[in-house]
Structure 1
Amino acid sequence: MTTTPPEAPEDSEGPRVSGAEVRDLARLRRSTTDRKIAGVAGGLGRHLDIDPVIVRVLLVVLIFFGGAGLIVYAACWLFVPEDDAGAAPVRLDDRSRTVVLLLVGGLAVLALLSDVLGGSGGDDWWFLWPLLVVGLLVAWFVTRRDRRSAAATGGGPPAAAGPTAPLPAPRAPRRRGPLLLGFTLALIALAVGVLGTVDLAGASVPAATYPATALAVVGLMLVIGAFFGRAGGLILVGLLLLPVLGVASAADHSDGEDLLRVPATAAGLADAYRLNAGEMVIDLSEVSDLEELDGRTLTLDVDLGRIEVIVPAGLEVRGEAAVSGPGHIDLFGNEAGGIDTTLTSTSPDRDADAPLLRIDAEIGVGQIEMRTR
C-alpha cells in the first residue's frame, strides 16, 4: 500500500517575487481588481510585493514634492497595460516601455530634487519641460514605428494554399544604419565647447545649460535613430545626464553667499532678509534703541544653509521656525529635528515691559538657531 506524501508547506517568509522580477519592468501591469483610479498603485504594490496602501500613500506624498508622484502615476497610466491583457492608452513593446518608464523615473527624481534643494518656486521646474517634450516625442515616434511594423507583418489575408500558389519573394534584410553614439558624443562636445567659449567671452551661461544642451542633443539623436541609424548607448548617456542636470540646476539656484547683519539701531534692521544658500547671521546685540523694535516682525528665509539670530538681554523675541526639508531647529534651548519641522518659542527670563520682536524664520534644508547673549 502506498500513500501520497504530504505536500510541502508553503514558505510564508521572504518575498514572493525575486529581485530580477522586480527589476523587469516589462512585467509591470496595472491592476483591474485592486484599483481606486487606474490600478497603478495596485499594480505597483503587486510588482514590488508590498501593500498597495503604502504605494498610494507614497504617491500622494510625492505629489507635494515637485509633483513627482503625479509624474509617476500619469506615466504608468499611459504606458503600462492592464493585467487582463488590455492594451495601454499608449502602446509600446516591452523594451520601449521599459526605456520610457526609466526616463520618467529620472524626471520624477529631478522633480523631487528641484523641490527639496531648490525651494518651492515655479522657476525650479523650467528644465523639466524640455525633457518631458523630448520624452513624449520619442514615445510617439516609437509607437508610430511599432504600429507600422505590426501592419507590415500581420496585415492582409494569408496566401492561398496549394501547389499553384506562388511563394512570396523573400524580403531583403533591412540594412542597419550607422551607430549614432560616436556622432552624438562629438555633437555634445562641439555644443559644450561653443557654450564654454561664450561663457569665457563674458556672457552669463548658467551651469545647468551645459547638461541641458547635452541632453537635448541626445533626445534629438534618439528621435533620428527611430528612423535612421542605430541609437545604441544613447539611452544610457541620457540617464547619466539626468542627475548631472538636477545637481547643476540646484547649483544655479544657490549662490552660496553668507549674510551678516549687525545693526546699531532699529532703523538699520530691515523687515526681511532672503538668501538662496549659505549662512545668515542676524546679531541684535548692538542695537541701542531696542524699544523701537517693539511690535515689529522680522522675516528670514534661506533655501539651503543655516540661520542664526543673536538676541540681547533687554529684548523679548517670539520666534517661529520652520524647516520644509531635513533639518534642525534650536530656539533658546528648545530643539526639534526631522523633515517638515516647525517650532515656536520665546526668549526666556525677560521683563514684563521688555520690547517684543516677532521673528519668522524658514529654511528649506539646514539649521535654524536663536540664542541669547
Structure 2
Amino acid sequence: MNESSKSSALGGIEDTARDFWATRPVRPREGGKIGGVCVALGRRYGVDPVLLRVAFAVGAFYGGAGLLLYLLGWLVLPKEAEASDGRAHRPTSTPVVVFILCMLLPLSFIVWDFAGLLGLLAGVTGLYLLHRHRSEKQAAVDTSSPQATTTDAPTGHTWVYPGTRTAEPEPEEQFERRDPPAWDPLGAAPFAWDLPEPGAPEPEPEPEPPVRRSVTLVTVGLAMLAGGVGFAVGMAPAAALATALGVLGLGMVAGAFLRGGRGLIGFAVPVAVLAVAFSLLPTGPWRGVSDTVVEPTTVQEVRPSYEASVGNIELHLDGLPLSPDGAPLRTSANVGLGNISVYVPENVDLQVTCSADRGHVDCLGSERGGRDLRESAEDLGADGPGGGRMNLELEVGTGNVEVHRV
C-alpha cells in the first residue's frame, strides 16, 4: 500500500468516526431494557434492537468485551430529554455515570486478554461498518407515540351535494373559482368548479420481495457464541476457533438448502487460518526463540535439559568420553515449534524416547510421520553391552526429532 492509499484509508476512518460522533444516536426515554443503547442504535441505523442485544450478549463471553462496549455506549450516548425541557437530549445523569465508571474499572483489568481483545476488535469493526454503510438509514417512527400523531396534513377540496348544509369555510377559502377545470372547458358544471385537476393515475404498488432468511447473520452469531463459550470454559484458542468453524460449516450446509449463507465463506476462511495457526503454535509457558548447537567435550558440560518454544536444538554427544562402568548420562530436549537432532557415539548403550504432537520422528532408524507420535528404542550399539550409557528424552510439539549414531 502506497502513501496516498494509506492517507486516504486513515482519512476515511477519521471522517467516519467524526460523523458518528456528530450524529450519534440518542437513547430513548421509553422502550429500552437497560440504558436503551440497543434501541438507540437500532433506530439510528434501521436494525432490529433484538439482534443488537444478541450481539452484545455474545460479546460478553469474549473476556467481557460486550459488556464493556455496552457500558461505554451507555456513557457516551445522550438521553432523550423530557418534553418540558425544551431540549432534544441531555447527557447521562451523574449517578449513572458513577455507576458505569465503577463497573468499567474492574472490566478494564480483565478484558485485556486474547478473547477480550478479539471481542473489542469485532465490536468496534462492526460499529464502524454499520455507520459506514447504514448512516443514512433511519427506523420508522413508532405511530403509537404521541409525537407521531400530527394534524398538520393538508386536506383537499371536498365536494358537497347541492342543497345540503355544511360548516362555514374558513375566510381564506371563501372564494369562487373563476377558471373551470381542464376536463370541463365550457364550465357546464358550475358545482364542480372547485374540484381539483385530475392527476396521473397512481402506479400499482410493486409486490414486496419475499422475506430473506438471515442464514449468514444467525450462523455468525451462533459461531461467535460457540467460540466465546469455548474461551470462557478454558478451551485452547485452536479448539475454540475450530468449534466456531464447525458452526460456520453447518450454517453453509443449511444455506445450501435455504438458498442463502454465501457470506459465510468470508467468515470461515479467516477463522480456519487462525485455527490452523494456533494449532501450530507451541503451548505452555514461553521459553523463548533459539537456535542451539551443543558440542560438549566433557560429561559435566551436558545440561539436564534443553528447551525452546520456537527454534532448533542440535546436540553433538558423539565426542564425549563415557566410562563403561559409570552412571548413565541423562538429558532431555523440548521444542514447541522446530526440530531436534541428536548425534551419539556408535558403541554407546542408548535408551531414547522420541515424541511429537505432529511432524516426523526418526528414532535410530524407526521412522514415523503424522500426529501423536511416540517411539521408544533401546540399542546396545555395534559392540554389544559396554561403551557407556545414555538416556535421552526428546519431544517436539510441531516438527521433527532425529537420533543418529556417528
Q: Which has the larger radius of gyration?
A: 2
**TM-score where L is the length of structure 2:** 0.36
**TM-score where L is the length of structure 1:** 0.39
